[in-house]
Amino acid sequence: MYKQAICDAESRGLAVILLGDYTLGYIENKRNSRDIMKKIALYPGTFDPITHGHVNIIQRGLSLFDEIIVAVSVSAGKNPLFPLKERIDIVQQVFSHSPRIQVISFSGLLVDLMHEQNIKIILRGIRGSSDLEYEFQLANMNQAMKPDIETVFLKAAPQYANVSSSIVREIIKMGKERSLGDLSLFVPEAVIDAFQQLEKS
């Protein structure tokens, strides 16, 4: 019966996502005819800046999904360090050799973006218990507004469990020039280059 349900779903153009013994959901992807059977997830965030932790989640997500769309939030209310265009450019540089990763921007509700892109899966990273309750609340709210949305959580790799964009921003704002080299422990080289350019402008 279980196999028959999967066959029925696939015959209707639905991509079945399996993780272990659990079916996470179906993706009915109408973006174009050749993408119908692709498993696509959306990974949203401010990415101010993108960290090694973000990169690790995305790279591991590619083992579950055919394509990941990185959605960079405008987040004007957060007074970001890097302008939106800069954040998009940085993410594109980091994944310039990854054709399975697309980068877009968005403002407003995430569920509206999901509807526009016709994507049903949100990918999120969990660093620890401090993230867990907040992320569960977001997932429940998103599903309440759009019941066919599922959220897939990946636990942060141990070496990145304490890395966050906010900590990186504090280092950038308060650190001396010699401390920028230390940032390579937390962020890709493209972030350091972008900050140096920001300082010159």
Asked if 115 is an active-site residue, the reply is no
Select which of 39, 52, 54, 87 is catalytic.
Answer: 54
Task: State the SS3 of the chain.
Answer: CHHHHHHHHHHCCCEEEEECCEEEEEECCCCCHHHCCCCEEEEEECCCCCCHHHHHHHHHHCCCCCEEEEEEECCHHHCCCCCHHHHHHHHHHHCCCCCCEEEEEECCCHHHHHHHHCCCEEEEEECCHHHHHHHHHHHHHHHHHCCCCEEEEEECCHHHCCCCHHHHHHHHHHCCHHHHHHHHHCCCHHHHHHHHHHHHC
Asked if 169 is an active-site residue, the reply is no
Select which of 39, 87, 124, 127 is catalytic.
Answer: 127
Select which of 31, 78, 96, 107 is catalytic.
Answer: 78
Look at residues 110, 93, 109 and name the one whose alpha carbon lies nearest to residue 101. 93
Select which of 39, 87, 124, 165 is catalytic.
Answer: 165
Asked if 78 is an active-site residue, the reply is yes
Asked if 130 is an active-site residue, the reply is no
C-alpha 162/C-alpha 153 separation (Å) is 17
Catalytic residues: 54, 78, 127, 165
